[in-house]
Amino acid sequence: MQEFSGPERELLRRYCTNVERRTFALRGLPEVVRGALFSRYSRTEKSLRRVLLDEFLRDPAAGLDTGDAGADHLVDAARAEDFYQRVLVGYGDDSVAELAGAHVAVESVSNLAAKALEDSRVGLSPLEKSTRYVRFDRPGAGGRYAYHRGPELAHAAYEPAVDALFATYSELVVPLTERVRESHPREPDESERAWKTATRARALDLLRGLLPAATLTNLGLYGNGRAFEYLLTKLAASDLPECRGLAGELHSELAQVIPAFVRRALDERYGAPAAAYLVEARRRVSELAPRRGLARPPDGPEVRLVEHDADAERRVVAAALFPQSDLPLAELGRADVEVDVVLRALLDGRTNRRHRAPRALEHAHYTFEITANFGAYRDLQRHRMLSQERQLLGTALGYDVPPDLAVYGMDGPFRKAVERAGEAHRAMEPALGPALAQYAVPLAFRLRWYFRATLREVYHLCELRTSAQGHPDYRYVAQEMFRRVREVHPRLAAYARFVDMGPGDGLERRASEQRIDRKLAELGG
């Protein structure tokens, strides 16, 4: 640390959380400068603080005003941007665009668009409005239910069917909440807040199948420039005009905070041809893909394990031994070791689901084909550490009615509205095409998708998504996924101890809400 003079330390302190230790964070710098600064790591022997001093703070072109000791936000964004461009040209590669990020809010977009915005694995973190805690029948613009309308959806059947779905949701929500409360009265030591929240969540969970894919929602995305760039390209290539419009909107907002990172995203040289390639590939494959209408929809959701590694145990054991050995992986695969003993050594001692299973489990792969309702898909699609693709949302695979709705005598109106929407979908499909017809389809209808996941992600997904507080529809899928793995690999599955195969207690949020109460009490609130 002797390398810095007194005035240098003074200056650095404004931008670094310490000037003494080897670990520090940057502050008071615009995102572009952080990105440019980090990008220099790969090309310099200097310490980062030295680069900051020599190449940024002392270079007026960097746009950092170091004159005013009082101000922490010392940015001339335009100058910083120009400077960044030069750094990028001089030293950069594509990964430099991962070194700065942005928070963006995207509001009033359909559930279809939300899924497209959330369909990124690396570098983007979304958070979306929940159908469990928020009522979706509040009027939107013009006093009408909040769902996507647009010139591309001009079809006589669309709006009446979608309005009917929302009207049914709206009619049922209050009486259903009352019925849930009668069935699950407040417990003696339960607060009114916890009970009301848990029972309301249950009612909203039961009704969410009525919400059409067109339902407007809000989401926030935090991500790095590179992830945003690819997201913009994918949106620009979408078959939905709504998503193509979002590509432009998102781009112009991002261009205000991280312009250098998204400059190419939609331009003529890089972005537009990349999007054109995606569009063209989809068109070509679509012409080749065989299709066969279903004679009869399945009776319920289905989870099939369509592929798994026959020698998964051997692979996992070899990978577990590898870091501690000096033998090649192939030889470890033939080593004379007890599978049980190695698995126990590797996995014993996980005392909760947050104790991550080790990477060795990534050597076993599983492909699941899942047919379940769009509501369950919508939740499970959020898992990023796997490969997944879905087919278009339609009506051929049938729909699910939550069994409790029949118990409460409210399945009739639910079915009526869902079936009417199904008819609208079938009328719209030939006229508008299958992609646009998706907007009319409510979350109760099933679709088919695949997950290709490693055993490590199976542990994570199944332990998280079978927890008692989860929605019963995705709990069922996660439980079935786990059953399939346990059937083929009982010894590998045995250590996923936090998978909850129980039936659920009918009031999923109750225990969680009571836990929140206890935490609030501890905090004195």
Work out whether the CA dihedral 438, 444, 446, 450 comes out positive or negative. positive
Measured from the CB atom, the residue of 233 and 388 that comes closer to ligand FAD is 388
- Report the residue number, 424 or 478, with the smaller CB distance to ligand FAD: 478
Q: Which helix (H) or strand (E) is 176 found in, with range?
A: helix 158-183
The closest alpha carbon to 28, from 12, 9, 10, belongs to 12
Q: Give the contact letters, 8-47, x = binds to ligand FAD (CB under 6 A), - = no.
A: ----------------------------------------
- Give me 47's structure tokens: 């310490």
Residue 134 in the binding site for ligand FAD (CB under 6 A): no
Q: Residues 451, 452, 455, CA angle at the centre, nearest 5°?
A: 110
Give the binding range for ligand FAD (CB under 6 A) out of 43-51, 164-172, 337-345, 376-384: 376-384
Looking only at residues 309 through 368 of this chain, which bind ligand FAD when binding is defined by CB under 6 A?
Answer: none
Touching ligand FAD, residues 462-501 (CB under 6 A): 464, 469-470
Which range touches ligand FAD (CB under 6 A), out of 124-132, 240-248, 302-310, 416-424?
124-132
Cβ closer to ligand FAD: 174 or 385? 385
460 binds ligand FAD (CB under 6 A): yes
Distance, CA of 433 to CA of 395 (rounded, Å): 14
Interacting stretch for ligand FAD, rule CB under 6 A, among 125-133, 332-340, 364-372, 486-494?
125-133
Q: With respect to ligand FAD, which residue has the nearer C-beta, 127 or 306?
A: 127
Q: Which is nearer to ligand FAD, 158 or 495 (CB)?
A: 495
**Least distance (Å) between residue 457 CB and ligand FAD:** 6
Nearer to ligand FAD, 420 or 509 (CB): 509
Question: Would you tell me the crossing angle of helices 192-207 and 158-183 to the nearest 10 degrees?
Answer: 140
The pairing of beta strand 216-224 with beta strand 302-308: unpaired
d(CA 162, CA 170): 12
Nearer to ligand FAD, 203 or 318 (CB): 203
Instruction: Return the residue of 234, 344, 384, 390 that touches ligand FAD, per CB under 6 A.
Output: 384
C-beta of 177 vs 388, nearer to ligand FAD:
388
Exposure string of 9-43, with b = 16+ CB inside 10 Å and e = fewer, is eebbebbbeebeeeeeeeeebbbbbbbbbbbbeee
Please report whether residue 85 would count as binding ligand FAD according to CB under 6 A: no
Minimum distance of ligand FAD from residue 384's CB (angstroms): 3
Joined together, the tokens standing for residue 174 give 């209050």
Is residue 382 within the footprint of ligand FAD (CB under 6 A)?
A: yes
If the CB atoms of residues 118 and 429 are measured against ligand FAD, the closer one turns out to be: 118
Q: Is 350 helix (H, G, I), strand (E, B) or coil?
A: coil
- For ligand FAD, which residue of 5, 130, 286, 325 counts as binding (CB under 6 A)? 130
Give me the least distance between CB of 225 and ligand FAD, in Å please: 14
CA 300 from centre of chain: 25
Interatomic CA distance for residues 403 and 479, integer angstroms = 18
Nearer to ligand FAD, 371 or 469 (CB): 469
Phi then psi for residue 109, to 5 deg, are -120, 155
Q: Does 383 bind ligand FAD (CB under 6 A)?
A: yes
Choice from 127, 279, 341, 407 touching ligand FAD (CB under 6 A): 127
Contact residue for ligand FAD among 81, 128, 242, 480 (CB under 6 A): 128
Write out the DSSP string of 399-436. B---HHHHHTT-HHHHHHHHHHHHHHHHHHHHHH-HHH
Residue 366 near residue 308, CB atoms below 8 Å: yes
Q: How far is the CB of 129 from ligand FAD (least distance, A)?
A: 7
Radius of gyration of the chain (CA): 27
Q: What is the DSSP letter of 103?
A: E
What does the binding site for ligand FAD look like in residue numbers (CB under 6 A)? 125-128, 130, 382-385, 457, 460, 464, 469-470
